[in-house]
């Protein structure tokens, strides 16, 4: 996997963690050891950190128009701060990173950190800041990784020893949000385009919110059972993304409905999850063949058929769970998109009316990108997001 260059410990640190698109593994990635495939884009969340000589801690979030201040106890590495809920994720992230830095013998001090999202993380549906809506690129995962990376880098800690950046970010995100997700978004923000299988959620269940230096040291030092394999999007593909205007997918509610179906119909759930994972695995195997034999139309055909079959199975999961993962009108939009330049298309992540993502063949001179852009731009329910592929994990600038 690509690793960032390291810093030694003084002055300003600037980190960038990138947004993600989940192409394969929606819902099925929740069950171990099923695979997912997630790629990153050029839009990111930035963290700017300046060390202070005293013990003051300042967190600034321009997107919320908020600045919150507190103090650091160097003996415990604990931050005293009355943060609003909007700042809880960043505060928990920098707290966990600070404690790990202390456990590694760093001479910790106060600092000021500011986080900023690139424009693509939200889109405007009218006039004024109140009309900004999230675009589904994973801002909470990206801000967590960017914040943890900034603190570790500022105090000279190796981001990759014991996979510290990734593990601390997974832990902080779970503590701050109160739930243990699959973690694919944190992993992608850490490492870029990857094939990912989740860790056992029991690793983080019950991890106390009032954690200590020893707690963080132990959780990073223990063995986690996730699997991460670097897999850049093949050069034959480009990606395109658009949001549904004035609509959104409520991920927690949708996952809750699927979990209820799992509890009430475990055999049916198991069967369809196995089918989804089998088709996802077939699609990834075909993608590997595209990388090694890009001129083979058989490989492209195998990828498309497996990708589509995985999508159909995901739609059926929604129907069985009484939740709209892929609405019928979205199915029509996907099929029309494939007639207007898209090689494959889907509703990424949890599905629903959040966004539509497409892969286009850039190895063919058929104007696919322009066709799809024109088609989506004429659809009044969509807003194009101008993002490009960027197959990298966290960057320390």
* 383: number of Cβ within 10 Å: 19
Nearest to 229 by CA among 18, 376, 35: 35
Give me the tens of pLDDT residue by residue for the chain, a chain 397 residues long: 544 444 444 479 999 999 999 999 999 999 999 999 999 999 999 999 999 999 999 999 998 899 999 999 999 999 999 999 999 999 999 999 999 999 999 999 999 999 999 988 875 555 554 455 666 898 999 999 999 999 999 999 999 999 999 999 999 999 999 999 999 999 999 999 999 999 999 999 989 999 999 999 999 999 999 999 999 999 999 999 999 987 665 677 788 899 999 999 999 999 999 999 999 999 999 999 998 876 689 999 999 999 999 999 999 999 999 999 999 999 999 999 999 999 999 999 888 888 999 999 998 878 999 999 999 999 999 999 999 999 999 999 9
What are residue 346's DSSP bridge partners?
357
CA distances from 10 to 6, 98, 108 (A): 12, 15, 11
Domain limits of the chain?
Answer: 12-230, 237-385
CB crowding 96-119: b at 16 or more within 10 Å, else e: bbbbbbbbbebebbbbbbbbbbbe
Quick one: tokens of 218? Answer: 């132990």
DSSP-derived 3-state class of residue 44: strand
Q: What's the whole-model pTM score? A: 0.93
Same fold, 12-230 and 237-385: no
Helix pair angle (164-177, 139-154), 10° resolution: 130
DSSP-derived 3-state class of residue 52: coil
What are residue 36's DSSP bridge partners?
196
**Measured distance CA(88)–CA(107) in Å, rounded:** 25
Token look-up 């094939």 returns 195
Provide the pairing of β-strand 111-117 with 56-61: parallel
CATH for 12-230? 3.30.230.10
What are residue 227's DSSP bridge partners?
197
Provide the pairing of β-strand 66-73 with 395-396: unpaired
Q: Which fold has domain 237-385?
A: Alpha-Beta Plaits (3.30.70)
**Measured distance CA(255)–CA(20) in Å, rounded:** 19
């Amino acid at each position: 996997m690509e690793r960032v260059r390291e810093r030694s410990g003084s002055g300003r640190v600037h980190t960038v963690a990138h947004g993600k698109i989940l192409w394969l593994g929606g819902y099925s990635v929740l069950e171990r050891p099923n695979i997912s495939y997630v790629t990153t884009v050029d839009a990111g969340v930035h963290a700017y950190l300046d060390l202070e000589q005293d013990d003051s801690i300042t967190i600034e979030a321009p997107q919320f128009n908020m600045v919150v201040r507190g103090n650091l106890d160097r003996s415990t590495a604990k931050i005293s701060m009355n943060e609003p809920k909007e700042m809880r994720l960043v505060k928990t992230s920098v707290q966990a990173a600070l404690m790990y830095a202390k456990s590694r013998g760093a001479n910790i001090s106060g600092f000021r950190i500011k986080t900023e999202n690139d424009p693509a993380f939200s889109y405007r549906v009218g006039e004024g800041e109140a009309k900004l809506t999230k675009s589904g690129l994973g801002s909470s995962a990206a801000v967590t990784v960017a914040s943890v990376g900034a603190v570790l880098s500022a105090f000279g800690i190796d981001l990759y020893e014991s996979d510290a950046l990734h593990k601390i970010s997974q832990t902080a995100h779970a503590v701050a949000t109160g739930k243990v997700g699959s973690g694919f978004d944190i992993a992608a923000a850490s490492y870029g385009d990857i094939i990912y299988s989740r860790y056992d959620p029991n690793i983080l269940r019950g991890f106390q919110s009032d954690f200590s230096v020893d707690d963080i040291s132990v959780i990073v030092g223990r063995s986690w059972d996730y699997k991460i394999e670097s897999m850049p999007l093949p050069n034959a593909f480009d990606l395109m993304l658009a949001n549904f205007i004035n609509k959104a997918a409520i991920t927690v509610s949708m996952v809750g409905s699927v979990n209820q179906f799992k509890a009430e119909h475990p055999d049916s759930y198991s069967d369809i999850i196995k089918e989804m994972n089998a088709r996802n695995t077939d699609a990834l195997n075909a993608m590997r063949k595209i990388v090694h034999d890009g001129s083979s139309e058989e490989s492209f055909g195998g990828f498309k058929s497996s990708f589509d079959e995985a999508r159909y199975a995901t739609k059926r999961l929604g129907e069985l769970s009484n939740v709209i993962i892929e609405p019928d009108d979205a199915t029509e939009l996907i099929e029309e998109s494939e007639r207007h330049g898209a090689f494959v298309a889907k509703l990424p992540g949890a599905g629903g009316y959040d966004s539509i993502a497409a892969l286009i063949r850039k190895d063919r001179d058929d104007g696919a990108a322009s066709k799809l852009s024109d088609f989506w731009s004429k659809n009044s329910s969509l807003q194009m997001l101008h993002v490009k592929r960027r197959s990298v994990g966290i960057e320390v600038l």
